[in-house]
Amino acid sequence: MTQAILTPDTAPEAGAGAQSGGQSKKVFVKTYGCQMNVYDSERMGDALSRDGYQAVDTVEAADLILINTCHIREKAAEKVYSQLGRLAKLKKQRNADGGDLMVAVAGCGAQAEGREIIRRAPVVDVVIGPQTYHRLPEALAKARQGESVVETEFPTEDKFDGLPKTPETAIRARGVAAFLTVQEGCDKFCTFCVVPYTRGAEVSRPVDRILGEAERLASAGVREVTLLGQNVNAWHGKGADGREWGLGELVRRLATIDGIDRIRYTTSHPRDMDDALIEAHRDLPELMPYLHLPVQAGSDRILKAMNRRHTAAEYIRLVDRIRAARPDIALSGDFIVGFPGETDEDFEDTMRLVREVNYASAFTFKYSIRPGTPGADMDNQVDEAVKAERLARLQDLINQQTRAFGRDCVGKTVDLLLEKPGRNTDQIIGRSPWLQPVIVDAKLGKIGDIVRVRITQPGTSGLFAEPAE
């Protein structure tokens, strides 16, 4: 789970909607979930800045508290309700003191639960889904008139058309690496997943909109972009040459933008990994040798029950093709243990696949029943104790592979993008081509520089490096 806060340093400039007398409104944003939720929180901050809001880093200082939710797992949803319970006390005290505190819930959890959120947590003034957050300022205006607002219908208009362009000062404040949404929604309907119900059908942003945003990012000092989508490699659109492009062609065009030196993308589906994208990994030094390619399980029987529509052998053959094109690529994945009906033999199939692929990293989860998905109604739900034991075994294997990958990096010379200060004043942190944090001497360069370094040793959560000779 990612947690991000839009702080004053990352807040967009306040727009013309600021309150009279020069007194701006204050917003605190808390984000749960994936990288796309982080991107969405930034764009909601852009929309609110046009209405006069400035970001603060404590709930106590805020006039508006915005919680951007995740609905992938039950635990994430319950954390939100716990936080709303605490906010109810704050709001009651604020109102008793003559203040006016508003609470809004956005994101996939908002989309899934809708008015149920207000029923369970009356402290909430506005519930707004991930496809309607461009309407947030208008929803807040309605709420100020005493209306409880729930905006969870999938709109006919493109939300990106309703969002303001991010000011250059805000882009610079957010750093030299940025997210860029190119695709939303999913048509795969995996039986464990809520995304088709919370994000809707697959939609690809037009080429010109993506290029325009990427060029604005580059002009503001961004050197690395990560393309986002629930099923990002399903992206397609008409290119400037009149042909239908896939993600491989889009990446090639983005690589020509002056200032964009690194490109990543996430999250991919194996069924949409086409030849053009694999060839882009082979040909483009700008496309980083890191690929998150979830498989979820190693048992064909479980993969069929999940509606993944690929087999373990097909996945492994795909990995072999990718590695043939880019031998130094680091593979990451997602795994679910304890899916309904999973036997000991099914789980051992997953362990065998993990050993064969040999991941640099992976995310592992116990199956979580999500209401409204086909998996929730399946028989043979796996006992929680069995899930926990399998998860521990799988995670131990992944940890072994991650540590081995880190050790194998020692001695390699790589280009490092310096991104942020280190924990110590004499350190600065960058990202390796394989996405690991790398700690180097702060004298080596400034944030935004790309420097040549040699990996010297692995750490507990990253690598250490020194200047390359």
Q: What is the pLDDT of residues 243-296, one digit of tens each?
A: 999 999 999 999 999 999 999 999 999 999 999 999 999 999 999 999 999 999
What CATH number belongs to 289-409? 3.30.750.200
Boundaries of every domain in the chain: 2-155, 175-287, 289-409, 413-467
d(CA 438, CA 419): 10
> 287: which DSSP letter?
B
Instruction: Give residue for tokens 């052998």.
Output: 313
Mean pLDDT estimate for the chain? 90
CB 217 within 8 A of CB 172: no
Q: Taking the model in full, what pTM does it have?
A: 0.85
CATH 3.40.80.10 fits 2-155, yes or no: no
Does residue 19 register a pLDDT over 70? Answer: no
Q: 176 φ, ψ to 5°?
A: -90, -5
Number of separate helices (H) and strands (E) present in the chain: 14, 22
Q: For helices 344-357 and 312-325, give the axis angle rounded to 10 degrees.
A: 10
- pLDDT tens digits, 180-229: 999 999 999 999 998 888 888 899 999 999 999 999 999 999 999 999 99
The Cβ-side half-sphere exposure at 5, using a 13 Å CA radius, reads 12
Find the range with the poorest average confidence among 10-14, 152-156, 176-180, 306-310.
Answer: 10-14
CB 427 within 8 A of CB 441: yes
Instruction: Output Rg (C-alpha) for the chain, integer angstroms.
Output: 23
| Cα of 44 vs its chain's centroid, Å | 15
d(CA 469, CA 463): 18
2-155 and 289-409 have identical folds: no
- pLDDT tens digits, 293-302: 999 999 999 9
Percentage of the chain modeled with pLDDT above 90? 65
Provide the CATH topology of domain 413-467: OB fold (Dihydrolipoamide Acetyltransferase, E2P) (2.40.50)
CATH number of this structure's domain 175-287, picked from the four choices 3.40.50.2020, 3.30.750.210, 3.40.50.720, 1.10.10.10: 3.30.750.210
